[in-house]
Structure 1
Amino acid sequence: MMYSNIKVIAFDADDTLWVNETYFRDAENEFAKLLNDYETENKIHQELFKKEIENLKIYGYGVKGFMLSMIESALELSNNQIETNLINKIIDIGKDMLEKPIELLNGVEEVLQKLHGKYKLIVATKGDLLDQERKLERSGILKYFHHVEVMSEKKVPDYQKLIGHLDIHPSELLMIGNSLKSDVLPLIELGASAVHIPFHTTWAHEEVNEKQALNKDFKTLSSIDEILEFL
Structure 2
Amino acid sequence: MKLIAFDADDTLWVNEPNYVDVKQKLCEMLSHHVDEETLAVRFYDAQIRSLNTFGYGAKSFMLSMIETAIELTNGTITGTEIQQIINVGRKLLDFPIELLDGVAEVLETLSKHFDLMVLTKGDLFDQESKIARSGLGHYFKHVEIVSEKDEQAYLRILQKYNVQPADFLMIGNSLKSDILPVVHIGARAIHIPYATVWAHEQVVDEQLVGKSFTTLNSARELLELLETIKGAT
TM range (shorter): over 0.9
Q: Determine whether 1:170 maps to 2:165.
A: yes
Q: Which residue of 2 aligns with 1:47?
A: 42
Alignment of 1:75-114 (within 5 A): 75-114=70-109
Q: In the TM superposition, what is the alpha-carbon distance from 1:215 to its structure 2 partner?
A: 2.3
> What whole-Å deviation, never above 9, does each CA across 1:144-191 have from its counterpart, x for those lacking one?
001110010001001110111111100110000000000000000000
What's 1:19 paired with?
14
Shift of 1:229: 1.1
The one-letter amino acid paired with 1:167 is: N
CA–CA separation in structure 2 for the residues paired with 1:124 and 1:185: 15
What does residue 3 of structure 1 align with?
A: none
* Whole-angstrom distance in 2 between the partners of 1:55 and 1:98: 18
| Alpha-carbon distance, 1:18 to partner | 0.4
Unmatched 5+ stretches in structure 1: 1-5
Report whether the alignment pairs 1:38 with 2:62.
Answer: no
- Structure 2 partner of 1:192: 187
Runs of 4+ in 1 over 2 A off after TM superposition: none
Deviations 1:20-74 (A, max 9, x none): 0001111111101111111110100110000000110100000000000100110
Does residue 72 of the first structure (1) align with residue 67 of the second (2)?
yes
CA apart distance, 1:117: 2.4
TM-score w.r.t. the length of structure 2 is 0.96
- Matched with 2:51 is 56
* Structure 1 residue corresponding to 2:121, chosen from 112, 126, 131: 126
- The separation in 1 between residues aligned to 2:161 and 2:225, in whole angstroms, is 23
Identity of aligned residues (%): 48
Structure 1 position 158 matched with structure 2 position 169: no
Q: Letter of the aligned partner of 1:169 in structure 2? A: Q
In 1: Cα distance, 2:61 partner to 2:92 partner: 10
How far, CA to CA, are the matches of 2:53 and 2:46 in structure 1?
11
SS of alignment partner, residue 80 of structure 1 = coil
The one-letter amino acid of 1:115's match is L
Match of 1:214?
Answer: 209
Counting matched residue pairs gives 226
Q: Which residue of 2 aligns with 1:144?
A: 139
Q: 1:63 corresponds to which letter in structure 2? A: A
Q: 2 CA distance for matches of 1:124 and 1:215? A: 25
Distance 2:72 2:105 in 1: 46
Aligned to 1:122, the other structure's residue is in SS state strand
d(CA) in 2 for partners of 1:167, 1:39: 53
RMSD of Structure 2 on Structure 1 (CA): 0.7
Partner of 2:230: none
Counterparts of 1:139 and 1:227, CA distance in 2: 20
Q: Shift of residue 115 of structure 1?
A: 0.4
In 1, Cα distance between equivalents of 2:110 and 2:94: 29
Structure 1 counterpart of 2:213, which letter? Answer: F
